[in-house]
Amino acid sequence: MSGSIYDQGLDKNAANHTALSPISFLKRAATVYPDKVAVVHGERRITYANFHRRVSQFASALVKRGIGKGDTVSLFAPNVPAMLEAHYAVPLIGAVLNSINTRLDAPTVRFILEHGESKLVISDRDLNPVMKEALAAMDAPPPVVDIDDALADGGELIGAVEYEQFLAEGDADFAWEAVDDEWRAIALNYTSGTTGNPKGVVYHHRGAYLNALGNVIDFGLSPQAVYLWTLPMFHCNGWCYTWAVTAVGGTHVCLRKVDPALIFPMIRDHGVTHMCGAPIVLTMLINAPKDVICDFPQTVECATGGAAPPSAVIAGMERMGFHVTHLYGMTECYGPSTICAWQDAWDALDLEGRAGKAARQGVNMVTLEGQRIVDPETMADTPADGETIGELVLRGNTVMRGYLKNPDATDAAFQGGWLHTGDLGVMHPDGYIEIKDRSKDIIITGGENVSSLEIEEVLYKHPDVMEAAVVAAPHEKWGETPSAYVTLKPDSEGQVAAQTIIDYCRDHMAHFKAPTKVTFGPLPKTATGKIQKFALRDREKGPAA
Ligand code: ADP
């Protein structure tokens, strides 16, 4: 007889195999911690039992409106309870959650609604002016449910029904059917589309489940976790923390906008243990006016990523009582994929030495199968010498299914059996990766590759610099030359000359890498707080002919 003894009578069945889905985290949390506060929003408290009940009503109300498997439901809202509830109610009925970046303009929102074939829009009153304009331009606009949040600043109501009324239409005893297929789409998240139209990244239940649990393990969430929502939930489903915090039965603390004057007292008053944010959020906290910064007794775990955090920013946060964990990821891989896992030996380093280690993007999260730095043509690994630049590629169960209705882009992204990130980096001898640039951001001066991040790292160490970005400027002799854009700290504005900054860089790095131009002023940002280097590059090219 052929085959192994393990090939017979040991088949998959309903008892030993179920589809992985993060929906089950809420089911469990509501059973285990029914009276625990699941969600804090202003004065509101929603227990896990209530969270579960509201999600049941939400799902039932969706079904009553004819929404079902494979339908797209779009959310356009800040971090409010409805956003969290949508993360469970929409996929519970097999529909797909499309959270739209709240800083997008009406034409892009319209593009997303049309491309994603949205069947229903749930939109916050503050954002409705944009949504209204987007819908007005559509031939067949989907119906709208308004979120009339008590903490909204203004806006208007544009839908036929308000969210709480909509929930009331639903049945609190709605039966939660088990998810039948873990490969089913759970979310549709559009990339920022810095060139051309945004691409619709499709996540599946399995990947969301795994990345959420990866976060729990790698960021150390426990049932005592009090998670402050400084990261937008629309960004990669809040890097999957929308599901991770519920997995441990922790408390979600909602936050409509990133404002240090709100954040510091919330950390103190709610006993916040964990939060995430792009480095810009950290910079805002470090540079907050003295009178809004308040003391808190706990050490707050703060994960940052989405852009490289300069080591000076990490050090600044640690001084204020945060412990910073550095993550790397992209929309295509459910947010966080690599983590700068801490090594005990680094404890012995001084603050700057520790921050320098933590500024690297690190190693694969426990739930990501692999990460490599390769020559993108041959797919051969670059030497682990900390110097040879190659492309970061990723593989595993937390990589997207692909781009919606875009097989060419999907094929290109998956060439050679790995997800091509378009990020350039090096592999260090200890197996930790360090990103040097996005392929398109690298500066080639006199034939040498110069990492803009390396120059920014030096700029951020200058005591008067609050934010900095370096891009390539065309140069007659060298081809390109580094050009720095700098926002000074409020007290230093108008006090520092461009040449002082250039000299500082020349004193701290090889001269050919130092910027030759410095422009002061505010920096253009994306909705997730990333500096828009393409806009700065356009400025360097001058007005189009
Ligand atoms: P967008 O493409 O709109 O910026 P993504 O979240 O998909 O949104 O961005 C992913 C990109 O952000 C990565 O490809 C990389 O260039 C950058 N990025 C993310 N995390 C880090 C990090 N820790 N260090 C450096 N760059 C990062």
Three-state helix/strand/coil letters over 236-281? HHHHCHHHHHHHCCCEEECECCCCHHHHHHHHHHHCCCEEEECHHH
* Angstrom distances, CA of residue 253 to CA of 3, 7, 81, 114, 228: 53, 48, 9, 32, 5
Extract the runs of DSSP E, i.e. beta strands, from 130-205: 144-147, 161-162, 185-190, 200-204
Indicate where the chain has its CATH 3.30.300.30 domain(s). 447-541
Indicate where the chain has its CATH 2.30.38.10 domain(s). 369-438
* Residue 46 backbone dihedrals phi, psi, to 5 degrees: -115, 120
Which of 42-56, 419-433, 441-455 is the least confident region?
Answer: 441-455
Question: CB–CB of 370/398 below 8 Å?
Answer: no
Ligand 1 centre distance from Cα of residue 463 (Å) = 26
Place of tokens 């980096």: 425
Side-chain-facing half-sphere of 309: CA atoms under 13 Å: 38
Q: Is 331 in the pocket of ligand 1 (CB under 6 A)?
A: yes
* Angstrom distances, CA of residue 301 to CA of 221, 226, 292, 323, 352: 10, 10, 20, 5, 19
- What is the atom index within ligand 1 of the atom nearest the CA of 438? 16
Mutate to test the pocket of ligand 1, among 423, 439, 456, 470 (most ligand atoms within 8 A of CB): 423
CA 108 to centroid of chain Cα atoms: 19
* Residue 486 backbone dihedrals phi, psi, to 5 degrees: -130, 135
| Angstrom distance (rounded) from CA 433 to CA 494 | 38
As to burial, measured by CB atoms within 10 angstroms (0-12 exposed, 13-18 middle, 19+ buried), residue 406 is middle
Closest C-alpha among 445, 501, 446 to residue 469:
501
Q: Per-residue pLDDT for 478 more than 60? A: yes
Ligand 1 centre distance from Cα of residue 306 (Å) = 4
Question: CB–CB of 9/16 below 8 Å?
Answer: no
Model pLDDT for residues 59-103, shown as the tens digit of each residue? 999 999 999 999 999 999 999 999 999 999 999 999 999 999 998
pLDDT score of 1: 56
Model pLDDT for residues 369-418, shown as the tens digit of each residue? 999 999 988 999 999 999 999 999 999 999 999 999 999 999 999 999 99
Ligand 1 centre distance from Cα of residue 329 (Å) = 6
Question: CB–CB of 471/452 below 8 Å?
Answer: yes
Ligand 1 centre distance from Cα of residue 142 (Å) = 31
Q: Per-residue pLDDT for 528 more than 50? A: yes
| Angstrom distance (rounded) from CA 206 to CA 187 | 11
Beta-bridge partners for 118 = 72
As to burial, measured by CB atoms within 10 angstroms (0-12 exposed, 13-18 middle, 19+ buried), residue 517 is middle
Q: Is 306 in the pocket of ligand 1 (CB under 6 A)?
A: yes
Q: Is 421 in the pocket of ligand 1 (CB under 6 A)?
A: yes
Q: Is 203 in the pocket of ligand 1 (CB under 6 A)?
A: no
pLDDT score of 193: 60
Q: Is 134 in the pocket of ligand 1 (CB under 6 A)?
A: no
Q: Per-residue pLDDT for 197 more than 90? A: no
Q: Is 532 in the pocket of ligand 1 (CB under 6 A)?
A: no
Q: Is 441 in the pocket of ligand 1 (CB under 6 A)?
A: no
CATH number of this structure's domain 447-541: 3.30.300.30
Beta-bridge partners for 121 = 74, 144
Q: Is 47 in the pocket of ligand 1 (CB under 6 A)?
A: no
pLDDT score of 543: 62
Angle at 18 between CA 64 and CA 67, to 5 degrees: 15
Closest C-alpha among 195, 280, 285 to residue 525:
280
Neighbours of 134 (CB within 10 A): 25
DSSP H or E stretch at residue 392: strand 390-395
State the architecture of 369-438 in CATH terms: Roll (2.30)
pLDDT interval class at 196 (50, 70, 90): low
Mutate to test the pocket of ligand 1, among 190, 433, 435 (most ligand atoms within 8 A of CB): 435
Ligand 1 centre distance from Cα of residue 528 (Å) = 10
| Angstrom distance (rounded) from CA 57 to CA 174 | 7
Mutate to test the pocket of ligand 1, among 199, 328, 333 (most ligand atoms within 8 A of CB): 328
Question: CB–CB of 300/322 below 8 Å?
Answer: yes
pLDDT score of 444: 86
**Which residue lies with its CA nearest to atom 5 of ligand 1?**
330
Q: Is 247 in the pocket of ligand 1 (CB under 6 A)?
A: no
Q: What is the SS3 assignment for 473? A: strand
Candidates 3.40.50.12780, 3.40.50.10440, 3.40.50.9100, 2.40.160.60; CATH matching 19-26+42-203: 3.40.50.12780
Ligand 1 centre distance from Cα of residue 330 (Å) = 5
Model pLDDT for residues 124-166, shown as the tens digit of each residue? 999 999 999 999 999 999 999 999 999 999 999 999 999 999 9
Mean pLDDT calculated for residue range 530-543: 84
Q: Is 530 in the pocket of ligand 1 (CB under 6 A)?
A: yes
Ligand 1 centre distance from Cα of residue 331 (Å) = 8
- What is the atom index within ligand 1 of the atom nearest the CA of 235? 6
**Which residue lies with its CA nearest to atom 13 of ligand 1?**
330
Ligand 1 centre distance from Cα of residue 452 (Å) = 14
Mean pLDDT calculated for residue range 7-27: 96
- What is the atom index within ligand 1 of the atom nearest the CA of 435? 25
Mean pLDDT calculated for residue range 471-475: 91
> Which one has a higher pLDDT value, 448 or 16?
16
Model pLDDT for residues 212-265, shown as the tens digit of each residue? 999 999 999 999 999 999 999 999 999 999 999 999 999 999 999 999 999 999
| Angstrom distance (rounded) from CA 519 to CA 541 | 14
Q: Per-residue pLDDT for 545 more than 50? A: no
* Residue 120 backbone dihedrals phi, psi, to 5 degrees: -155, 140
Which of 28-32, 245-249, 306-310 is the least confident region?
Answer: 306-310
Ligand 1 centre distance from Cα of residue 65 (Å) = 37
Ligand 1 centre distance from Cα of residue 494 (Å) = 32
Of 197-211, 469-483, 505-519, give the range with the top mean pLDDT.
197-211
> Which one has a higher pLDDT value, 200 or 477?
200
Indicate where the chain has its CATH 3.40.50.12780 domain(s). 19-26+42-203
Q: Is 36 in the pocket of ligand 1 (CB under 6 A)?
A: no
Ligand 1 centre distance from Cα of residue 308 (Å) = 8
Ligand 1 centre distance from Cα of residue 239 (Å) = 12
| Angstrom distance (rounded) from CA 521 to CA 277 | 23
pLDDT score of 440: 79
* Angstrom distances, CA of residue 357 to CA of 314, 335, 336, 339, 350: 10, 21, 18, 12, 11
Q: Per-residue pLDDT for 299 more than 80? A: yes
Share in percent of the chain as helix, strand, coil (round to 5): 35, 25, 40
DSSP per-residue string spanning 358-391: HTS-BEE-TT--EEEEE-TTT-PBPPSSS---EE
